[in-house]
Amino acid sequence: MLHFFNYTKHVTSFITRFPVLNYVFTQIIFWMSAYFFLAVITYLILLTAGTTFHPPVNFRAIIMTALFFGLSNGIASGLTDQLFERRFFYDRSLAIIIIGKALMSFIVFVVLISFVRAAAYRYLQENFIEAGNVAETEKPWEHFFQLLLLFNIITGLIISFINQVNKKYGPGILIPLMMGKYRKPKEEDRIFLFMDLKSSTSIAEALGHLKYSAFIRDSFMDINSVLSTYNAQVYQYVGDEIVITWPIWKGVLPLYCIQFFFACEAKFNDRSKHYLNQYGQVPQFKAGLHMGKVTAVEVGDIKRDIAYHGDTLNTAARIQSICNEHNKYFLASKHVLENSEVEKYYHTESLGMIALKGKKQPIEIASITGIKTP
């Protein structure tokens, strides 16, 4: 029985601590698995050919070659992809990203295959090919190159698709999704943070809709750059609002969700020069935080997604909506404070029992204003 909760927990924890290493390791696993599959298929084809193939090829030679290609391609692709993702593809169009990554993959493949031909190929011939010498002609090598080139193109597309699915649903979600975990509603304990751009109407009027959209895009990109550090996942974007979520894990959360909001503010301050030059102002978000049980289910047909339902989301949204009314930027339910050590590390101020729109019973709300100094 696969324990989806533990799997997702450990995967997300590892990604948070070592994001680049995790990405490279994942690419190595993908590529080595793909080349291992190719090696097995190739060997079975050679066995089928029987005595028409001379000399017979040692299975160990095929596997070693495949693992070498998988390991090398995984490391090279993972590192180059991460390097260019952060430095070049950060704000590029999807077409540029696809073309650029395809070009990088081709360059990596040519370098790798050239190295094998110059160094490793002769070693494999001398040590792992049975029954004597092999004719050294250009024709077999051309077929070998064409086979691997075609295989790399197809495998690269599949791996790219898997990477995009991981980005869409978040780390540790793909395998549970494939196993059908969310086909039927499942109850989960989660934290939701609703972040909405403050004074969005006046900013939109001042900038105009095109520049305002660019302003929102840059703001969300900066928020996204902070996600992995705090185990955060984007649930959805709604206009100028972004909804962030975490599973509740004892001893880890919900302090991450508090730290995340202030990390976003710090990111905007670090990039204040960019925002002032481009838009004349620095973004500031107001936020509402709540935690509790929700129902998760896979929805849609033409466009599928994982949706969360329940009072927890509604309450978090309502908490965020009263920030302006109380002239506060970050509000949380008392329930969050009671189930964490937030008050030990952050300044909080109770606003008392507040009746939220759509809720029969008032709940206690607190403002979180900043970290306590030692």
pLDDT in tens, 213-265: 999 999 999 998 888 788 788 889 998 999 999 888 744 555 888 999 999 99
Residue 217, phi-psi category: left (phi > 0), alpha (psi -120 to 50), beta (remainder)? alpha
pLDDT at 3: 46
3-class DSSP state of 350 = strand
pLDDT of residue 228: 77
pLDDT of residue 360: 82
The pLDDT of residue 134 is 47
Q: Which of 19, 156, 124 is nearest to 79 (CA)?
A: 19
Q: Which residues, listed in sequence order, are joined to residue 346 by a DSSP beta bridge? A: 371
In single-letter form, the type of residue at position 167 comes to K
Strand partners, 356: none
The whole-chain average pLDDT of the chain stands at 78
pLDDT in tens, 316-373: 999 999 999 999 999 999 999 888 888 888 899 999 999 888 888 899 999 998 887 7
Q: What is the reported pLDDT for 295?
A: 94
- Structure tokens of 161? 């698709």
Are 67 and 32 spatial neighbours (Cβ–Cβ below 8 Å)? yes
- Residue 351 has a CB neighbour count (10 Å cut-off) of 15
- N- to C-terminal Cα distance for the chain? 47
* Structure confidence at residue 250 (pLDDT): 47
**Could you give phi then psi for residue 121, rounded to 5 degrees?**
-60, -45
| Cα–Cα dist 21/23, whole Å | 5
> Exposure string (b/e) for 130-151, b if CB count within 10 Å is 16 or more?
eeeeeeeeeeeeeeebeebeeb
Q: Confirm if 293 and 312 have CB atoms less than 8 A apart.
A: yes
Q: What percent of the chain has pLDDT over 70?
A: 73
Task: Count CB-CB contacts under 10 A for residue 269.
Answer: 11
CA distance 74 to 126: 26
Is the model's pLDDT at 9 over the cut of 70? no
What pTM value is reported for the model? 0.70
pLDDT tier at 57, thresholds 50, 70, 90: low
Count the neighbouring beta carbons within 10 Å of the beta carbon of residue 355: 12
d(CA 288, CA 285): 10
Question: ∠ at Cα 168 (22, 1), nearest 5°?
Answer: 65
Q: Say how far apart CA 169 and CA 172 lie, in whole Å.
A: 9
Question: Over the stretch 15-28, which tens digit does the pLDDT of each residue have?
Answer: 555 667 777 887 88
Please state, in angstroms and as integers, the Cα–Cα distance from residue 278 to each residue in 90, 144, 219, 272, following that order. Answer: 18, 52, 12, 10
